């Protein structure tokens, strides 16, 4: 079951359908202004099907590893819009939200999605009202499915290639903004080097993901953690390391409070902190799987089919981590350095990969070395080991904060601070927070759950470091 969805299920049984209820309005919350569906037949007229009075629960999802926003809408329907529309899963839906602004003004956010699925259809015992759930996603997901990249991109940085793909397939310029679209922004560092690629036969977003795995930061070539994602502000290109090194959000303090601890004890909650209802450890370190997957040490052997030359490269976790964090503070390895040699002790993953350098035809080694096509190379050995390790580091350390008060300003890519208690006897001088769990985290997923009565959210937090160093012994 999706964390937090039980809140919406409870509303399904208690809400009266079609009742005129005042819209929700509180600090840092959404106000539902308007929800409308436009069918392909246009039988409903230019204003569409108005569901503002019929909606019961709205869920909105953001994920830093996804280029799409998605969500679900629970509807209580006494007019059978599914038939009169009809609504079959090909419709556009517009959702207009308001968030509090300065001086009491509201900031209106209007988003457009495509309905792709109807589920959980139930008719009440009187046969007069039915409830159902509409599943929707950003329309660019459908544009992506209908498109393929079958061309080359010549002698340009990878971030430029991503912009080029974007403009070709989504009918946009670098300032892409349409009735159903969002802006494309790059907040992270520019990518290193020029390349030429014949793109694989993938969809545009598939090719963008293929390119982000190969991209390295021009500021720090050790950083190959680029992600392309969409939040409620638009599409963004950045690196996970650049994001996680950022400052803590002004409203990003979260503190888990033990329910059975009295307030007058030292374990009290900071007044500026937000208290989650539950903290769930989605994934924790599994050294056996991490070693097997090459998170700490791995190697790659490449064979150039033109020059008949082998090359070998080794990945060392400690060397890479030090390069990534050389200008950062409070970031320490998640592996103890006590007499450990990663290549010798835990190097289990070996890659073999063919390469080809230079032009096709009869050439000498000197011709290859001087060829203008030297940039036409995947440089697989320069990124694959680092990238695979970084992906595992983020995936193996995830925490879910559920039941948080809704915050319409929270975004994936934000940095937040978590305080988690240490369940052991403590003296007055000791910090009662667990030093290995507490600290900075990157928000990698946000799930908003809005009902007629309440607005809560779940956050997924990840990081690839400890805030304090491990003992070396």
Q: Give percent of the chain above pLDDT 70.
A: 78
Band the pLDDT of 72: cuts 50, 70, 90. very high
Q: Which CA distances in Å does 97 have to 3, 173, 308?
A: 23, 27, 61
Mean pLDDT of 49-64: 94
Q: Of 369 and 228, which is predicted with more confidence?
A: 228
Integer Cα distance of 273 and 276 in angstroms:
10
Indicate the CATH number of 5-138 among 1.10.510.10, 2.40.30.10, 3.40.50.20, 2.40.10.10: 2.40.10.10
The confidence score (pLDDT) of residue 432 equals 80
Lowest mean pLDDT among 21-35, 89-103, 398-412, 443-457: 21-35
CA atoms within 13 A on the CB side of 103: 0
Which pLDDT band holds residue 264 (cuts at 50, 70, 90)?
very low
Task: Check: CB of residue 270 under 8 Å from CB of residue 435.
Answer: no
Residue ranges per structural domain of the chain: 5-138, 145-245, 246-284+397-473, 287-393
Q: Which of 366, 399, 393 is nearest to 256 (CA)?
A: 399
Mean pLDDT of the chain: 81
pLDDT-derived band at 229 (thresholds 50, 70, 90) equals very high
pLDDT at 9 exceeding the cut of 60: no
Highest mean pLDDT among 42-46, 93-97, 341-345: 93-97
- Residue 372 pLDDT level (bands cut at 50, 70, 90): very low
Highest CATH level, class, for 145-245: alpha beta
- Residue holding tokens 């790059």? 186
Question: Mean pLDDT over residues 114-126, rounded?
Answer: 93
Residue range 246-284+397-473 in CATH 1.10.390: no
| Residue 311, pLDDT score | 84
Across 221-228, average pLDDT: 94
Determine the pLDDT at residue 370: 56
DSSP string of 387-406, one letter each residue: HHHHHHHHHTSEEEEEEEEP
Does residue 182 have a pLDDT over 80? no
Instruction: Answer whether residue 257 shows pLDDT above 90.
Output: no
Q: What is the mean pLDDT of residues 128-140?
A: 94
pLDDT of 245 over the 90 cut: yes
pLDDT digits (tens, 9 = 90+) for 274-292: 888 899 999 998 888 998 8
pLDDT at residue 137 tops 50 = yes
* pLDDT of res. 266: 42
- Buried b / exposed e over 110-142, threshold 16 CB at 10 Å, is ebbbbbeebeeeeeeeeeebbbbbbbbbbbbbe
Longest distance between any two alpha carbons in the chain, whole Å: 84
Burial pattern 151-169, b for ≥16 Cβ within 10 A else e, equals eebeebbbbebbbebbeeb
pLDDT at 367: 57
What would the pLDDT profile of 141-167 be if each residue is shown by its tens digit?
A: 999 999 999 888 988 999 999 989 988
Secondary element (H or E) of residue 353: strand 349-355
5-19, 185-199, 357-371, 406-420: least confidently modelled range: 5-19
Position 23 pLDDT exceeds 80: no
The residue ranking higher by pLDDT, 159 or 370, is: 159
Tens digit of pLDDT for each residue in 299-353?
A: 888 887 777 888 888 899 999 999 999 888 899 999 988 766 766 666 778 888 8
């Amino acid at each position: 079951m999706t964390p937090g969805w039980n809140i919406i299920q409870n509303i399904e049984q208690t809400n009266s359908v079609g009742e005129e209820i005042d819209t929700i309005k509180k600090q840092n919350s959404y106000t539902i202004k308007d929800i409308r569906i436009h069918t392909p037949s246009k039988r409903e007229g230019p204003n569409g099907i108005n569901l503002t009075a019929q909606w019961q629960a709205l869920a909105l999802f953001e994920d830093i590893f996804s280029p799409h926003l998605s969500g679900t809408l629970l509807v209580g329907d006494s007019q059978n819009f599914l038939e009169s529309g009809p609504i079959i899963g090909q419709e556009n839906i517009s959702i207009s939200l308001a968030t509090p602004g300065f001086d009491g003004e509201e900031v209106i956010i209007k988003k457009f999605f495509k309905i792709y699925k109807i589920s959980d259809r139930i008719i009440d015992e009187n046969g007069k009202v039915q409830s159902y759930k509409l599943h929707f996603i950003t329309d660019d997901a459908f544009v992506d499915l209908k498109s393929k990249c079958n061309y080359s991109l010549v002698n340009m940085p990878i971030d430029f290639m991503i912009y080029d793909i974007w403009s070709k397939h989504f009918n946009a310029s670098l300032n892409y903004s349409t009735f159903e679209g969002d802006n494309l922004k790059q907040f992270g560092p520019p990518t290193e080097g020029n390349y030429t690629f014949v793109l694989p036969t993938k969809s545009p977003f598939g090719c963008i993901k293929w390119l982000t795995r190969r991209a390295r930061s021009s500021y720090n070539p050790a950083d190959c953690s680029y992600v392309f994602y969409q939040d409620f502000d638009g599409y963004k290109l950045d690196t996970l390391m650049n994001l996680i090194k950022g400052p803590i959000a002004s409203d990003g303090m979260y503190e888990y409070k033990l329910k059975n601890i009295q307030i007058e004890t030292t374990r009290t909650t900071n007044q500026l902190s937000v208290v989650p209802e539950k903290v769930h450890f989605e994934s924790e370190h599994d050294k056996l799987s991490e070693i097997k997957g090459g998170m700490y040490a791995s190697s790659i052997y490449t064979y150039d089919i033109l020059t008949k030359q082998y090359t070998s490269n080794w990945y060392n976790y400690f060397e890479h981590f030090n390069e990534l964090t050389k200008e950062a503070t409070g970031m320490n390895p998640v592996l103890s350095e006590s007499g450990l040699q990663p290549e010798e002790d835990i190097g289990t993953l070996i890659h073999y990969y063919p390469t080809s350098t230079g032009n096709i035809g009869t050439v000498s080694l000197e011709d290859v070395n001087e060829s203008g096509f030297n940039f036409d190379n995947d440089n697989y050995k320069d990124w694959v080991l680092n990238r695979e390790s970084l992906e595992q580091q983020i995936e193996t350390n995830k925490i879910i904060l559920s039941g948080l008060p809704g915050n319409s300003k929270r975004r994936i890519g934000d940095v937040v601070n978590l305080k988690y208690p240490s369940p052991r006897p403590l003296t007055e001088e000791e910090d009662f927070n667990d030093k290995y769990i507490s600290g900075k985290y990157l928000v990698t997923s946000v799930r908003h759950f809005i009902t007629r009565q309440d607005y809560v959210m779940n956050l997924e937090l990840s990081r690839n470091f400890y805030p304090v160093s491990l003992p070396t012994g």
